[in-house]
Every structure is written in structure tokens, then in C-alpha cells.
Chains A and B, each alone.
Chain A
Amino acid sequence: MRVVHYINQFFGGLGGEEHANIPQEVRAGAVGPGRLLTQLLPDTAEVVATVICGDNYAAEHLGQVTATVLAQVTDAHADLLVAGPCFQAGRYGIAAGAVCAAVHQQLGVPSVTAMSRENPGVDLYREQVYIVDSGDDVGQMRDVLARMALLGTKLANGEDPSSPAEMGYFPKGLLRSQFVDKTAAERLTDMLLAKLRGQPYEPEVPIEIAEPAAPPLPVADLSKATVALVTDGGLVPKGNPDAIPLAFAKVWGAYNIADKEALNAEEYDVSHGGYDNRPVRTDPHRLLPVDVLRGLERDGVIGGLHPEFLSTTGNLNPINNSRRMGREMAQRLLNAGVDAVILTST
């Protein structure tokens, strides 16, 4: 196993803050903490090259430094890049995160670094890079390097590391499917027994209790308000002009109903894979009550029905994507002067 190591000027033995402007340089073999790392890696492993760079220089020339590391990893036919540990050093952490991410993404070579929780490199790179939690005590160098060596070896061997808690890295916030020894049934009964006995257990999904959302203020005078209908139930005009898919929709549509007193079932279709569409196909008002809203409009209960409805498919939609579509829809309605929205779901 061939390893390239990235460290800053301080750990490279070139000096402290006053030498933070030193450009990157490459040394053959291990330097500074790399020597300890060599001892902690398996016997077959070897630190073949070390890239040392001043923290300021790296911050100001990140592209150049990254290119040097990429070239070293390529030339050395490295199986793994190790950067740091960086502890609390922010510029060092950001540079380490950047070179690790680049090497993994551009070369497909695994990488590992280590930082303390407060290091800004953690939030910037935790999704892309395995970052071992180093704590902020440089005295723990040996322990931190040992965990980096363990994780790095696993990655270099093409194995999937076990959970963040077991391996000591910051959760990436990602999901990964993995075959495990116990069936779901066995894990369920294990977990229930632990819960019944007051022993600790680890849920397999993130449990974060969200604060309840504050209800918006009521519409001041509904009789003067323009009301729009928005649905995530997948109602589309026949032919589905925006090609809204049955699930995982990344698009939404706006459809004109200005001259419609009611919706004719023959003119509409449903693109949604998450519920029994038959009642809506038979009568679209089951999802989008245009008929009722026209009545309220005539009776003066509402000021008017907005001349278009917005629609997408909520089925199996990732939250990020739903948020984006929600913002886009809200902006379109705001631009059109809509005062209130009725959201209908399934």
C-alpha cells in the first residue's frame, strides 16, 4: 500500500506562523507525523511522498497546491492520501479537506484527514471526505494517527468503513446500503430488548425532534384576497406537458384555469405513483377543488381564484428538492400578487 501524506509547514518542521507563506514542496518518504503514521499502518504500507505547504500559501493558492498533490498521488501510484491531522488549525483543515476531496473525486483514490469539531474544514468537507475526529489536543497525535491508519487501510482495501461512531469519523450525513450479519428482524428484537431493559441502543435513522412550525397569520380580509391552488398530487393537463414523473419529480408546472368554471376529467391526467389515482382521474376536483373555489368567488367569500394552478408530484421527493421547488412556486405566486394559497395533498 503506497501512501502520500499532506502536512503543513509546522508539522513539516519548517517553522511556525512566521513561515506560513512557504510554497508547497515535495519530499520523498515520510516527514514528521508521517514517520509515526508509517509505524501505525500495516507492514506492507509505505509513505512514499510527503507534500509540505505553508498554511497561508495553501489558503491563497489552493488550486496550485491541489494540483501538486494530484500529481504526486498519480506519479506515486498511491493507494491512499492522508492529510493532517490538523486539529484546530483552520487554514490547514480547509487545505486538507480540499486536497482529500480532489484526490478522491478526480482520481478515485481514497483519502482521509483528521480535525477537531470546531475546525471550519469539517463543515466544508465532511460530506465528501472521511474526517476523523481528532479532538483539539495535539498530545493525542498517536491515537488520532492510529484511527486514521485504520480507516485509511480499510478504504485503500476497497472496504466500506463501519459506522461513524465505531470508526471515529464525522458523520457525512449520507446513507449507504450495506449487507450486515444480522437480519432486520434480529436487529429489531435486539433493540427492543435493550429498550425494555433500559440499556442504550442506537437508532438506524437520525432522530431529530424538529421544532413545530409556527402557523402563518390568518389572511386579513379573505374577500379581497386572490387565492391560488397548489397541489403535490400530480394533477396535469392531458399529455403531461412538463413531463412530471410519477416519483422523484424535479419539475413542477403552472396550468391555466382562467376560463374554467370546473375541471373536465377528460382534459386532465395524474402523474403520481404514490396513491390510488382512480378517484382523481374520475373527478379532478377530488384533488383540486376548482368548482368549490369558483362558488366562493361568486359568493364573494374570496376575492378571486388565481388564473393558474401549480402542480408537482410529492411522491418520494428528497427534501432538498422539495424545498427548492417550494421556493420557486412561492416566488411565482408572489410575483403574480397572490395573497393566499390552498395546498392540497394526497
Chain B
Amino acid sequence: MALSLAFHPVNRILSSDKTNLEGEVLTVNINELRDHLLEDHRLESVDLEIVYPGDRCRVGYVFDVLEPRAKAPGDGPDFPGILGPLAPAGRGTTHVLRGAAVTVVDGGQPGGELGYASRRGGVSKVLEMSGPAAEASAYGGLAHLVVVPHAFPEVTRHAVLNSLRLASVKAAVYLARAAAGKTPSYTEVFDLDSSALEQRATAPRVSYIGQVHGHQHGTETDEHILYGGNTVGMMPVLLHPNEWLDGAVVISYSWGARGLETYFHQNHPIILDLYRLHDAGEIVLAGAVATVSSDRRDEIDRNSMMAANIAKWDLKADGVVLTKYVGGAPHTDMFETARVCEELGIKTVALVSDTALDRRWESATLMNIPGVDAVVNHSEGVDVSWPANQVERVVAGNPEVVSKLAQLRELVAVNVCGVANNQGASRLRSMLV
């Protein structure tokens, strides 16, 4: 399976009467895109805004961030099972608008929920475009097309969320289709079988086991996560690294999925790093396993056993990298999987997230399992904050959030989209001192 990513750098997005990619400038026919998104009859209106690095602009609450990508004509559907018809992702050519992003805002519902923040009451995921918070975010340096869909008041919450998801993938594909037929600035090929390096014959086999969702807060029937499925009752499955990178999986809704965005499924830092090591002959990237965390003990045990079994007997892995879904409870599933892997003789390394409010070691000691002793600790940033820049523009889904975000005096890292990340993109480490 070979995936060719054709990269087209973008440094400007401009509103125009024609959607086109000219050099590094993406022009967008805003009205055409709006009409395209409003084909979803659950939506009453859609605001579209363009924001740049350095703009004194704040955006919230973020539903998801995606990289604009579109399959080359004839190479298969985009986001199969979610947007396009079901077909395998991860093959052929995909055009990528590098440097651009589609950011979708959850405006909640008039008179009802205010989006993800509403259940916790505080501030939720904010995209900041200027100042130190923007510099610390993986998204602060991108040109964003911000999509703010407004559903009709009578649309139920799960259907609103479903419409946000649909708008997100439609907008990402719409923009990237401007690159079809254009010569990419460079191309990268992802093919596990492309070259037979001699040193790879003796290199260790390494797999990735990642949670694509957590059922901790419930899952909607019409929630798209993996090839359009909502993962309820899902057992661990083989998911080729190329499928992971190419639209088979998007993030789920759960509580704003803090520290998870589809952008880092498309640019999965762990899969990309394992590919790099594979291409250098230091490892054999033996494949990847997608799993979920559960709120049921029997499922935790079953999923952990099966994920470890696939890694051991199907992928014949010597080592695995494990990551979890957002939150505290999914650590349990990840560590149980790691425990079974170690029992089967597979070396493990796991990524945990630190939210310890008292900032004491003992609160960071999540699991103590013999053998599971290689743990990387990314901080969710509860103890990191910046003074909030005065902003000239706030893009949000409803007036209440606009005024809240305009008045922010402080930005805590945990709320700044793109600082903490459960997919391995974060440079914010929790240090033991």
C-alpha cells in the first residue's frame, strides 16, 4: 500500500470570486463554499473567516482542526465512510495544502448548550493567533479558514455535532481540491514495502497501538470516528499507518477532545516518526492497531488482550508505542494493554498526560506495573499560562462566548488548542523536579 502526499505550500488565503491555488496563495470563493456547506439542511447559516499568524484574533470554542486535503481524481474517496463512500484510505495520491488549516467552531445552540465548554462551565479550546500562546501552539503558525456553522434551534445536539463534523471534512476537501492538477512543491511516498534495506532484516519490529476514542463520556449513534463508524462495541483492529494518515479516522466529540485534533491524525507524529525510523532501516514498522478505551471492566480486559495479541502474533512486534484518548480513565486501558504486551515479551513505551492539580509526584504516579517502566509524560498545561493579548477580533459561535473570549485576561495552556496533545505532537513536558 503506497500513499503519495503531494504538498502544496500555502501562506495566504484570500476571499475571491474563484477558488484557486496560485503559487502559495489560496483564493476562496466564500459564497460558493458557504452554499456547499449549507446543502446540509440542518444548518441555518455558516460564518467563514480567515485568520493569519500574528492576527490579534482569538477563535473559540474549537470543535476540530483539519489540514485541507483531497484525493487526486480517481484515487479514491475523501474521508471514506464519513464524507465519501466507503473504500480503503491510504492509497494513491492525496493533495495537501501545507501551512493551511480548516478550524471548525462549535457554537452550541441558541438558548441551549454553548458547545463543549458548557458541561464544565469554564473556557474550552481556544485558537490563539498572536503572542506567546500562539507561539506555543502547533496551530499558531498556520493560515486558518475558520468555519462557524449555526444549526437551526430545533436540531438536537447530537445532530448539531454531526453537522459540524460534516462541515469540517467538506470544507477541508473543498479547499484542497484547488490543488488538483497543480504541480506539488514536493511529494512524500509512504510505502512500507518500498525498499529492502539490508540492515532492516535484523532491525526490531515496532507497532503503534493507539486509542481513537474513549467511551468514558458516552458516544453518539451518529458519531463518525473510524471509517464513519462510532466504535461502540469495537474491538482492536489493524489499521494501516497509511489509513491513519489519509482520512480513515477523525477525532470524536467527547468533551471537546482536549489535546486531540484530526490534524494530528493526518500528521500523526508517532506514525511519521516510526516511518522515518523504518525508512532509515532502524526499525521495521510492523503496522498499527486502533483501539478504544472503555468504561466497562470486561471490555477493558478484552480489548487489552486482543490488542496485545494482534501486536504479538499478527504483527510479530518486538516493541510497541501506546497512546491513549483524552482524559484520565483511558490510562487504565492503555496500561492494561501494555501489561499484557510485556507479559508476551513485547517491550512497551506509553504516553501519559499529567493533570495533577497539586503538582506532586505522587499524583503523577498513575500505574505501577512491573515491566511497564518506559513512560513519557506530556503536560496538559494546568500550571502554564500567559497573559492574554488584547485582541481586535473574536471569532466564536455565539455572543456569550464572544464576550467571554474578548475579556480573557489569562490564557491557561490547557485551553489553548495545539499546546498539549495526546497524539505525541506536544513539546510541553511534565518534569519531575
Residues of chain A at the chain B interface (Cβ within 8 Å): 160-164, 171-189, 191-193, 195-196, 201, 203-210, 246, 248, 273-276, 278, 315-316, 318-321, 346
Contact = CB atoms under 8 A, between A and B. Distances in A.
A222 B369 CA distance: 35
A204 B433 contact: no
Nearest to B274: A189
6 contacts: A176-B383, A176-B433, A183-B424, A188-B273, A196-B204, A278-B218
Interface string B191-216: 00000000000001010000000011
Contact of A276 (B295, B424, B429, B433): B295
A203 B381 contact: no
A204 B423 CA distance: 17
Of A172, A278, A319, chain B has the most CB atoms within 10 Å of the CB of: A319
A184 B138 CA distance: 13
A275 B295 CA distance: 8
B425 A175 contact: no
B305 interface: no
B217 to A, nearest CB: 5
A173 B356 CA distance: 13
A39 to B, nearest CB: 28
B424 A188 contact: yes
A164 B426 contact: no
B273 to A, nearest CB: 5
Nearest to A318: B358
Contacts, number: 196
Contacts of B170: none
A183 B383 contact: no
Contacts of A210: 368
Given A174-B360, A274-B328, A278-B218, A184 B378 contact: yes
Interface of B: 119-120, 136, 204, 206, 215-218, 269-270, 272-274, 277, 282-283, 295, 318-321, 327-329, 347-349, 351-352, 354-366, 368-370, 373-379, 381-384, 413, 421, 423-433
A188 B377 CA distance: 10
Contacts of A186: 269, 273
B270 A203 contact: no
B421 A184 contact: yes
A203 B368 CA distance: 12
A58 to B, nearest CB: 28
Contact of B376 (A188, A275, A320): A188
Nearest to B295: A275
Contact of A185 (B354, B375, B424): B424
B154 to A, nearest CB: 22
Contact of A183 (B206, B374, B384, B427): B427
A203 B374 contact: yes
Q: Which of A180, A204, A209 neighbours the largest number of chain B CB atoms within 10 Å of its CB?
A: A204
Contact of A163 (B318, B358, B432): B432
Contact of B430 (A183, A204, A275): A204
B426 A184 contact: yes
B431 A177 contact: yes
A321 B362 CA distance: 11
B422 to A, nearest CB: 9
A183 B321 contact: no
Contacts of B355: 316
Contacts of B119: 273
Contact of B216 (A161, A162, A179, A274): A274
A26 B363 CA distance: 43
Contacts of A179: 136, 427-429
